[in-house]
Each structure stands twice: as structure tokens, then as C-alpha cells.
A and B are shown apart, each in its own frame.
Chain A
Amino acid sequence: MPVTPIPVTAYTLSNALGRGKSAVLARLRGSDSGLRPCDFEDVGFPCWIGRIPGIEEVPVRADLAEFDCRNNRLAQIGLEQDGFTQAVEQARQRYGRERIGLFLGTSTSGIREAEMAYAHRDRANDSLPSGFRYQTTQNCYSLTDFCRRYLDIAGPAFSISTACSSSSKVFAAARRHIDAGLCDAAVVGGTDSLCLTTLYGFHSLGLIAEHACAPWGLERAGISIGEAAGFALLERDAKDAPAALLGYGESSDAHHMSTPHPEGAGAARAIELALRSAGIPAGELDYINLHGTGTRLNDSSEDRALQHFQHTAACSSTKGWTGHTLGAAGITEAAITLLAMETGLVPGNLGLGEADPALTTPVRTISSEQTVNYAMSNSFGFGGSNCSLVFGRYR
């Protein structure tokens, strides 16, 4: 059933392309990827990553020192761009702190702290260093707890952790909470940072490409992991806003823990539900930001899913720019989609190389100027969790 459009009154993103909208946009206009050969820790296999420089230099705000870890530092960096904290402050004054919800996605939170704690554990009695702060770093809720205190908001809040769809599903959760009157506005978004768990984990599944990822390409051979933070502010109503969330669709694959449904059935369902809830046909879409991870199976099953829809949208995966930012992919790509709507820049599918003739969905290879009134952003996660978002102009 259709849902009422909800204004996105502010948004921000930080990733390997840069901190904040201007920095990211400047890179998206060109063809200089944020991916580099891996120089993170002592990773023992060749891969490329989307690393954000400078996270090591600045700890989290002093009053929240117990939350200090790479992931929360990155969240802090993310919140401080594009006047986002000021926008939240204004919402807090307008509605009251208990009326602002907070829904954030993350796949690994501060697990890097646990990785380091175990590496430095006392092997004699198998104990962890006394400085290890599990609840405020490793724990999945730590990101949301940190941001809640950082922003001083007190409405309903939780972390969603459904792998790659995490920070896309947060939009749906916020929509439902605002609709039900549990809050009047919500901060949505997510943060995921580099750690050994995901690098070695995806490597064990044979899903990490040796070189920079090539989404949709004939030679595609896996993902390049990136780190990112992104946030958006949704409000019950607003005088003006760059865009609105028109609809969303969520589904599961029911297929396999680490392989997508080959026909993309779950993905197609999520897309169908998103279009239906937005009340527009696929033909109205001007731009689709693909999940496009660069694995052989994701891209082919996503392509199959898209075949069910008649559309003339410009399509691209932007993971060749930022890498696969996992729990932050949803918000990162939603924000890039919003940038496309706001600026008219449709980003190209960087890293394509030679196109795969087996994929029927054509992708834009280079960035170009185009009016985008309606756009879709897709996130089809590991473990079969799918989410599709539709954005449009706010009237």
C-alpha cells in the first residue's frame, strides 16, 4: 500500500572519496576511485580497500571516551560533516529530544577492538587486556548508543545488523516509527569500518577481488571492502527539503547463507514492493543505484531481478568508487542517490572494464549530467536480506 512521502531534510556521507558531500561529489564527477591496494594492518592476501585516512588521529569526543574505537571515530567524522549535527540540533529544538528516533546500521561495529584484545590477550590465563571495553565498542548497539549520546537525542533507537542491507532498512524502520507517532523525526544511517573479520571472512568465501572491484564487468572477481559513515534526517513534515523517501520494499531470499538467489527473486520482490509503496511505475525512475558488488553471482542475480521491470533509468553501481561498505552501504548509496537528485550528477559505474554481455541491464560508464526526479537505491545483503528505497522530489 502507498505510504506518504517523508522529507529527507539533511544528509551527509563520508567514505574513501572524501568527507562530506562536496568532497564526494567532486570525485564522482571524475574517474579517480577511492580504492587503493590494501595497506590495512598486515592482511596476508592481495586486495584493494576503500580506506579513510586520518581516523587514527582523532579520538572520539572526550566525554564519550569509553566509546573510543575506529567505528565510533568514523561515526563522529560522519556526523560532523555538512552541518548535520546542527540540523539535528534544530530538529531537537523543534520537536524535543525524546521525539527524535535513531536507527543505524552496522555489520561489525567495534569488533576491531575485540580483534586487538584477543591478539594481546594473556595467553597464560587466557584473559583479555583490562582496557577492553566490550559493551561500548564491540557490541552491535555501541554505534547507536554513541551517536545517541553524541547528538543528545532520546527517542526510540536501535542498531539494525542485517549485513549489506542494514543501513537501507533503517529508512523503513524510521518511516514506521514516525507513522505510528512514536517520534516526529529520525536520524537514520550507519557506519562500518575496516577490520580483519570482514576482510578474512569474505576472503574465506572466495569473494574478495585481488584488484579493485569491477561491478557489472566481464572480468568481475569479487568485492573490495570499504569503510564509510553516512546519515540522513527524516522529519514528519518540513517547509522544504532536497528530497523525500517515497517508498521502500523489504524481502528475504530464503536461499543460502552466503549466496544470493540465482534468479534474484527476493531482490525483485523488494523492488516491486518499493515501487508499489512509492506509487510509481518503474518507468518513472530516472536513476537506479545498483547494489552491484562485483561478485559474479550478485551482479547476475541482480540483473535477473531488474529484468522483471520496464524502465529506462540510468543505472550504475558506485562500489567501484567507495568499495563495498557493508553495513554502511545502504546509507552511502542512498546518499549518493540523493546527491544525484540534488545536483543532477549521475555517477558512472567505475571499474566496469569490459562489459559483461550476459548482463542485460546497461550501465553508465562515465558520470554525466541529467535531471533525476525519481531514483531507486538497492541493497541486497549477505544472508539474503533485501531492501529497495525509492526517492523523489519533496513537494
Chain B
Amino acid sequence: MIHIRLLGIGLIGPGLDGWSDGARVLRDGGAAYARRETAIPAPALLPANERRRTTACIKLALAAAEQAVRDADLDPAELASVFSSSHGDMRVSDNLCRALASEDRPVSPTQFHNSVHNAPAGYWSIATGSRQPSTSLAVADSSFSAGLLEAALQSRANGHPVLLTTYDHPAPSPLNSAAPLIDPFAVAVVVQAGKQEPRLRLSLETGEESRLTRQELEQLRLGNPAARALPLLAALADGLPATVHLPHQDRQLRIDLESA
């Protein structure tokens, strides 16, 4: 059992533009949900010459990370970071594979360094000047829950807050038929281990994953692995004691929200 507090939240999704906007929609009896194309803001922290080299997927991750850090009002350079994504940047994979399947295999250096799973982590480190450690994980549908545990454990080990950013972006054709995702989605949280309230209690157990009652939100939850975080976000938006279960491989990550 691990106790954490969330110091800041970022959210980028279809019709969910930031945490305060998203919370208004996600809470029980909240505003109507209107799905529209995910608006990915340009990450402000990244210098223009680096920003030019980034892809939509990288921008998605960085913009969510920025929101969480701003919400927490912390210096990003001080935070260790965990990035988790089920699929990574599939547009870059597609570009690379096309290049490799062609006559002279024209692979560009930028394409290649953008193809590594830890590309967003690398850009984040450059943008913030942070020399704190960073890790980049992949865990299929459990990317958020595994990332949250890893961030909690790192915070527990080093005593400082840790930034988690979970993101997934749809692929272009033809990869999209192999890995269908409905919309870009990213959630970022700044995690501090410890028993101060308001706190979340994390544990692993067998059980059923939490579902959302509104069909369109449930579709989003199932349509993008990063959106498996939605039941937690909905419970946070309610601000009441609650228990949610998020998929964690063959089990569930049980999160007990205790009120302030």
C-alpha cells in the first residue's frame, strides 16, 4: 500500500481542454460532454528551434506535462519524470518504415531521434533543463496505472515530487488498423509520496475495472489506453471519498481517494 498526494493535474483530450475544463465535464452531474477534435497546445517551455522538430505526439505529451507542472506551481527542473505510452509515436514509426522500404532508405537524423520511445522525455529534459532522472515505460492498457505506481515509488525513494505523463496518439494509415485509437489523449499528474492529506491510497488487487456511466466518455476510456485514467479523474473532479479500479495487467490498481 502506497500513499500519495497529487500536486497538479494536466489533461488534454477530445473536448477536454485542461484540468479545470475537464473536471467541469467529468464530475458527477457535470457539464455535457461534447467530443471534438483534441486541441494540442504548442508547448511553451520548448524553444522554437526544438519545437519545429517535434511531432504531434511529442507535443501532446509535453503540453500535458506543462499543464500539470503549472497547476502544481513547481519548478519543472526539480522534478524527476515518468513518461508512459502504450504505442509511442506511430507517425514516426510509419515514416521510418516507409523510408526503410524505399529504394535508398532516406532516414533523417531527426526522424530517428524522434522515434525512440523516450523522445518526449528527452525534449522535456532539454526544455526544462532538468537533470533529474527520467524513465519511459510501455505497458499496453496499463500505461497509466503502471506509470502512477512507478512515479509513486520514485517519489517514495527520493522524497521529492515526480511528474507522470501518460499519452497516446492515433496512428496514420496503415498502422491505424493494427492499433486503432480514437483520439489523442494525455494526462499528467505531479505525484508526492507521503501520508499528508488529501491523499490517495494505491494497492493492487483482483477485481473489475471502473467504468464511466456516460457512453461517450466510456468510449473514450476504451478508445485510447491513456484514457484508462478517466475514472480516477472523474473521482477527483467529484472531490468526495471514492474507490476506483484502473486496469493493471491481470489485476487492478485500486485507488482509494480519501477526502481532505
Give me the interface of A with B, judged by CB distance under 8 Å: 44, 98, 107, 111, 114-115, 117-119, 121, 126-128, 132, 134-135, 138-141, 144-145, 154, 156-163, 169, 173, 176-177, 179-180, 182, 196-197, 200-205, 250-258, 265-266, 269, 381-386
Contacts and interface: CB of A to CB of B under 8 A. Distances in A.
B126 A156 contact: no
A158 B138 contact: yes
Q: Which of A44, A144, A145, A200 has the most CB of B within 10 A?
A: A200
Contacts of B100: 115, 118-119, 196-197, 200
A20 to B, nearest CB: 28
Interface stretch (B30-38, B104-112, B236-244): B104-112
Contacts of A111: 93, 97
Chain B's interface size range is: 35 or more
A368 B150 CA distance: 40
A251 B121 CA distance: 12
Q: Which of A44, A250, A257 has the most CB of B within 10 A?
A: A257
A272 B59 CA distance: 33
Contacts of B47: none
B107 A251 contact: no
Given A115-B97, A134-B178, A139-B140, A161 B126 contact: no
B116 A161 contact: yes
B152 to A, nearest CB: 8
Given A111-B93, A121-B101, A269-B131, A383 B113 contact: yes
Contacts of B123: 257
A254 to B, nearest CB: 5
A180 B251 CA distance: 18
B174 A158 contact: no
A385 B121 CA distance: 9
A114 B97 contact: yes
15 contacts: A139-B179, A140-B138, A154-B250, A156-B204, A158-B139, A158-B150, A159-B138, A161-B138, A169-B135, A176-B154, A180-B156, A251-B132, A252-B121, A253-B125, A383-B116
A114 B93 contact: yes
B131 A251 contact: yes
Contacts of B174: 121, 126-128
